Structure 1
């Protein structure tokens, strides 16, 4: 009982730390997960190229998927009496840098949930939003998210740009977008679970303004306002944003950093790419994705 799936990374329009509302957009950089189910009673995770990585999240994704969706036929095939006796292995491989603000955890969770559902033979019958919420539950159980990250997870799972209320896991809006994207990732890392939530909550009125802009379809404007506000709240320099303007249609600190993302027209973004290439770290170009997570 094997399954394989992938899910894309995402960039930030609105960080949900301040008000509970968030918005993100899928980008064309993937995490692939392979799941093999068995009767071992234990799920063991592995991250390609990172033998010391914490695999609690992906292991929990498999456990929840089996508990929620393994029917009697699937359990019979595994040779177990109940879901608690099931186990297996999950292996992820990713183009998405970890702890860089590009939703690597959401991509890994989504890919793993879909791969587990694929192994169970039910991937096509489970609504993508439900599969996404399962990964969010796993992220909360694993302690890798503060807000629940439904904004990031929904963008990764569904594709396009999404706006969510993370306090209720409600999808407020989704729209397909076609942007070119430039990403700059400095050498350092930043884990969202370590962010100063109380400091971020001080800018809640600005976050509500950003949410209004996003719900009005002004995503590029929204992400730029978000970027300046959260650079101040989280202690990042806004210099990369200033250097990207006015060539980028929108630019923001992505997540809780340290990456920055700029969107717009490919020709205009060449100037942004050139300037960001002069910074220490890695600059790369990609595009938005509208198809989200998928079995392979």
Structure 2
């Protein structure tokens, strides 16, 4: 039994570290998961293409959870599934603030359901919640990241309560997106949560803006607040504010995302190209996680 799914990366509108409320939007860059299940070889394994030493506990746990819930003989019509292997391939750099973990978890959950021919047995929101549960279990997230997971799973932009894993709002947006990813990595589980909570008043303002549909202004306020809280240089935001609709640190960094008029983003890209790292000009994505 084999299944496959692809999940988009995402950028940040509101970082949930301050208040437990978050918002994110899907972008047109993907992680692909291929899952092979077995009824006779016990155990769950994983691999990340071109990264032999990568931590695969998250995707392995995702396969295990789906199999526990839907891998019995009443679903597969044969002896129960007792093992599986997942391989992920990604256009999204790990630990870059672009929700690579959420994309990997979403793709793995849906690919496992696809292998079981059981995708109709879970709603897409519950698929995202299962991946969030696995992320919490293996310790790769502080907030639970339902904001990131929901944006990647459902597409468009979402606003969520990460404490209760509730979806507060979802909109489809059609934005051009510029991404700058510096060469360093930043793991969200290592973020200084107590310091982030100091900017809670600004985070609540960002939440109000997002729930009013003013996503681009919301992300700029978020970016300034969380650059200060997390110790990132805010120059990439300040220097682009006159030209773009919105710009922010994405997640806990180090990537920055800007949205707005494509011509303006191309001008900003010329400046960001002078910085170390890589830039990418892409668009938002509204389909979410899907099978090929």
Q: Into which bin does the TM-score normalised by the smaller protein fall?
A: over 0.9
Name the CA distance, whole Å, in 2 between partners of 1:280 and 1:130.
39
Q: What's the counterpart of residue 288 of structure 1?
A: 284
1:70 deviates by 2.2
Superposed CA RMSD in Å reads 1.0
The reply to whether residue 122 of structure 1 matches residue 118 of structure 2 is yes
Give the TM-score normalised by structure 2. 0.98
* 2:49 equivalent in structure 1: 48
SS in 2 for 1:244: coil
TM-aligned CA deviation for residue 242 of structure 1: 1.2
Q: Is the 8 A contact 1:10 1:25 kept in 2?
A: yes
Q: Is the 8 A contact 2:95 2:187 kept in 1?
A: yes
Q: Secondary structure at the match of 1:10?
A: strand
- Residue of structure 2 in register with 1:258 after alignment: 254
Cα distance between partner residues in 1 of 2:118 and 2:183 = 40
List aligned pairs for 1:15-34, cutoff 5 A. Answer: 15-34=15-34
Contact preservation (8 Å) 1:243, 1:275: no
Rounded to whole Å, the distance in 2 between the matches of 1:158 and 1:9 is 12
Q: Is the 8 A contact 2:76 2:116 kept in 1?
A: no
Give 1:124 shift.
3.2
Structure 2: distance between partners of 1:212 and 1:24: 14
Output the CA distance in 2 between the equivalents of 1:150 and 1:174.
13
Unmatched segments (≥5 aa) in structure 2: none
Q: What is the CA-CA distance between 1:197 and the residue it aligns to?
A: 0.2
Pairwise CA distance, 1:183? 0.3
Aligned residue in 2 for 1:245: 241
How far residue 75 of structure 1 moved from its aligned partner, in angstroms, is: 5.1
Map 1:64-213 → 2, pairs under 5 A: 64-74=65-75, 76-77=77-78, 79-80=79-80, 86-213=82-209
Distance 1:275 1:229 in 2: 23
SS at match of 2:12: strand
**Which residue number corresponds to residue 214 of structure 2?**
218
Aligned equivalent of 1:9: 9
| Paired residue total | 291
Q: Which moved more, 1:271-280 or 1:4-13?
A: 271-280
Alpha-carbon contact 2:46-2:85 (below 8 Å) kept: yes
User: Does the residue aligned with 2:35 lie in a helix, a strand or coil?
Assistant: strand
Any stretches of 5+ residues in structure 1 without a counterpart? Answer: none
Query: What is the TM-score with the length of structure 1 in the denominator?
Result: 0.96
1:222-264 CA deviation, whole Å, 9 max, x = no partner?
A: 0000000000000000011112121110000000000000001
Deviations 1:14-71 (A, max 9, x none): 0000000000000000000000000322111000000000000000000001112224
The CA deviation at 1:76 is 4.7
